[in-house]
């Protein structure tokens, strides 16, 4: 086997191992797709997909994944390797009185979550709502809750993150 073939095989192996390590940092019943975008780290996240927050979780309690996780690690996504982060929210159906969506972040070794912002929806959206996350954060998660009278809702919350060059 030539020197170049050996180096290629070693390089591909290292890439696969490093991509698996990045994906292993993420937790909690959410869909995460990690890849490369040109020569940058790239991650897509789906916290909720057509989720019926009022019908499933009831009212007044934030949940952080479709398994209705409320633990400190529920819905947690590592964001420290990413410089640009965006969350997109779609409320296709709103049967509850209203829905709150709250992106949260955590820095350093702190174990407490901090509110980035809270967006209240009192009607279904005709166009998705986008929240840019400008703060430098170690981890990100997104909570959703219904308020008032519960009804049938359909909420999709996804995100995209792009990092520095590899």
- For residue 27, give the H/E element and its range: none
Question: Thinking of the domain 3-165, which architecture would CATH place it in?
Answer: Sandwich (2.60)
Instruction: Identify the pLDDT of residue 18.
Output: 42
The token duo for 102 is: 């709250």
Residues with Cβ within 8 Å of 54's Cβ and at least 6 positions away in sequence, in order, are 95, 96, 99, 146, 150, 151, 152, 153
The token duo for 37 is: 């975008």
Interval 49-68: pLDDT, tens: 999 999 888 889 999 999 99
Mean pLDDT check: name the lowest of 4-13, 29-38, 128-137: 4-13
Q: Report residue 17's pLDDT band, with 50, 70 and 90 as the boundaries.
A: very low
Greater pLDDT, 12 or 48:
48
The token duo for 101 is: 């969506």
Give CA–CA dist 19/35, Å, rounded.
7
Give CA–CA dist 120/45, Å, rounded.
21
CB atoms within 10 A of CB 166: 11
Nearest alpha-carbon partner for 99 in 141, 157, 144 = 144
Instruction: Identify the pLDDT of residue 110.
Output: 85
- Cβ atoms 62, 51 nearer than 8 A: no
Instruction: Identify the pLDDT of residue 28.
Output: 65
DSSP three-state, residue 3: helix
Give CA–CA dist 138/152, Å, rounded.
34
- Cβ atoms 45, 31 nearer than 8 A: yes
* The model's pTM: 0.81
The mean pLDDT of the chain is 85
Interval 132-164: pLDDT, tens: 999 989 999 999 999 999 999 999 999 999 988
């Amino acid at each position: 086997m030539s020197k170049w073939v050996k180096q290629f095989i070693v390089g591909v192996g290292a890439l696969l191992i490093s991509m698996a390590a990045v994906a292993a940092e993420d937790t909690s019943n959410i869909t995460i797709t990690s890849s490369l975008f040109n020569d940058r780290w790239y991650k897509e996240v789906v916290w909720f997909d057509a989720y019926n927050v009022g019908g499933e979780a009831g009212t007044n309690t934030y949940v952080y994944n479709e398994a209705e996780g409320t633990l400190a690690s529920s819905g947690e996504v590592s964001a420290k390797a990413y410089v640009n982060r965006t969350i997109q929210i779609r409320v296709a159906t709103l049967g509850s009185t209203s829905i709150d969506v709250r992106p949260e972040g955590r820095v350093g070794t702190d174990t407490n979550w901090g509110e980035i912002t809270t967006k209240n929806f009192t009607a279904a959206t005709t166009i998705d709502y986008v929240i840019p996350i400008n703060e430098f954060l170690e981890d990100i998660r997104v909570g959703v809750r219904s308020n008032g009278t519960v009804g049938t809702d359909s909420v999709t919350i996804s995100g995209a993150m792009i990092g520095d060059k590899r």
